[in-house]
Copies of this chain bind each other. A is one copy, B any other.
Amino acid sequence: MTEVEAKKPQESLQDRLAQVVELLQRHRLVEDLTHRQEGQHQDRVEGLVHRQNLAELQRKLDDLHSADVAYILEALPLEDRLAIWQLVKADRDGDILLEVSDAVRETLLADMEDHEILAAAKEMDADELADLASELPRDVVHELMETLDAQQRERVRSALSYEEDRVGALMDFEMVTIREDVSLEVVLRYLRRLKELPGHTDKLFVVDYDGVLKGVLSIKRLLVNDPETQVAEVMANHPVSFHPDEDAYDAAQAFERYDLISAPVVDKNGKLIGRLTIDEMVDLIREESESEVLNMAGLREEEDIFASVWKSVRNRWAWLAVNLVTAFMASRVIGLFEGSIEKLVALAALMPIVAGIGGNSGNQTITMIVRAMALDQVSTGNGNTSRLIRKELGVGLINGLVWGGVIGVVAYALYDSWSLGVVMTAAMTLNLLLAALMGVLIPMTLMRFGRDPAMGASVMITAVTDSGGFFIFLGLASVFLL
């Protein structure tokens, strides 16, 4: 896609959203009026107002950067979103489709005719096409592939052959390549002939006649060195490069660590096959953190906030079902002690405190560990597990004695039984120790089995601290109080 220069945002995005919504509502109002008078004599003035409103809205949208239009589409409920989508000029469809989230893109594509999709897709680069291919109607993809030249088709195929989380799926093919045995002057003249450079070109890729990467020449060096210098003298010989089957998130972390703007992707023979750019990596970093947050809450994927109720139910039901099972188990643990509760009903009132604090504390631990794992500071292998467990047990012990002590005193004051207070303190402490242990072990185990360590971690830790908390408290009470 050709790059559109971002215009200076004079108003905030929120303001622009508000303006579009207002224009849209004004437009709707007039439409409603016109509609109501249907069959009657159509008032010309009204038609005019209508058209003026529409024109103003259209102008507003044309002025906006594609990314801003995408933002507005995301923030609007379905009906308004499609109304705006209809007004967006056909030649920007592709750009905008690439900017919106998956959930919103689905709603937009559903509203487009095949020939419109085809027209939008024709403007795209190979890597962009590959990104969208899975979401496009099969017929459209077929037709598209036929319109591409052999190289482009090969590139789309290659990008499609990698899993979504691999470097190969995120690379683009807009590399500027040069030879090492030419002078910088020649390079400068070559670039001038290209007329346009791809976005995020901070370095040129130096390849030999077989296309094998020999090094990279940063634009900075190209600019500050004497034009008579040879490329080989000033290029970097061992640039950070990636393989197409590497984990994309690892690549994103390398971009962050080494402050990269672009980096070459080479195959196993060292042949240059594509490049990664910081913009894709930033998107990835954001997506990773988002999915971590969502996973911890037991949500499966990003949900368009205006998604239909049914869609939301589907997104959320799985972990709720798991939670139902774990809650039922906790309930059965209580069931074991119904005799004790009948004898001392205070137990029923106090038991949720033990379970609740344990759940909260376990969630804190699990959040810490999942964070550290995401940053690669903890892995299943490097022998830190036992150290971490010791530390978390220490935190749990202190919190248990302190807060358990407080609530033990409160229990004593309420029910006038010091032994009940002691049982309460002991149960709190034990449950916090359990929470600490499982808070470390659950994400570690998930990771060892190759799962996302955040996946439903919150539901699992709560299951343990609920059942465990009820068992510990009611068990201790049955033994020592009754």
A contacts, CB < 8 Å to B: 5-9, 12-14, 17-18, 21, 65, 67-68, 71, 74-75, 77, 188, 191-192, 194-197, 199-202, 219-220, 223-226, 236, 238-241, 250, 254-261, 278-279, 281-283, 285-286, 289-290, 292-294, 296-299, 302-303, 305-306, 309-310, 312-313, 316-317, 319-321, 323-324, 326-328, 330-332, 334-335, 338, 341-342, 345-353, 355-357, 359-361, 363-364, 366-372, 375-379, 381-382, 384, 387-388, 391, 394-395, 398-399, 403, 406-407, 410, 414, 458-459, 462, 466, 470
Q: How many copies does the complex hold?
A: 2
Nearest CB on B from A475, distance (A): 15
Are A348 and B357 in contact, CB atoms less than 8 angstroms apart? no
Residue from the list B5, B239, B290, B370 in contact with A8, Cβ < 8 A: B239
Contact at A305–B18, with CB atoms within 8 Å?
no
Measured between beta carbons, the chain B residues less than 8 angstroms from A302 are 371
Label chain A's interface by main secondary structure. Answer: helix
A220 touches B192 (CB 8 A): no
How far, in whole Å, are A451 and B3 apart by their CA atoms in the complex?
A: 37
Known A-B contacts A256-B283, A327-B353, A371-B290; A320 and B462 likewise in contact (beta carbons under 8 Å): no
* Cβ distance A290 to chain B, nearest Cβ, rounded Å: 7
Known: A240-B9, A368-B305, A379-B14. A352 touches B338 (CB 8 A): no
Pairwise interchain contact A364-B21, C-beta atoms closer than 8 A: no
10 residue pairs A–B, Cβ–Cβ below 8 Å: A75-B376, A75-B382, A285-B286, A328-B353, A330-B353, A341-B348, A347-B348, A348-B351, A352-B352, A356-B466
Verify A260–B391 contact, CB threshold 8 A.
no
Q: Report B-chain residues with C-beta under 8 Å of the C-beta of A74.
A: 375, 377
Q: Which residues of B contact A330 (CB under 8 A)?
A: 352-353, 356
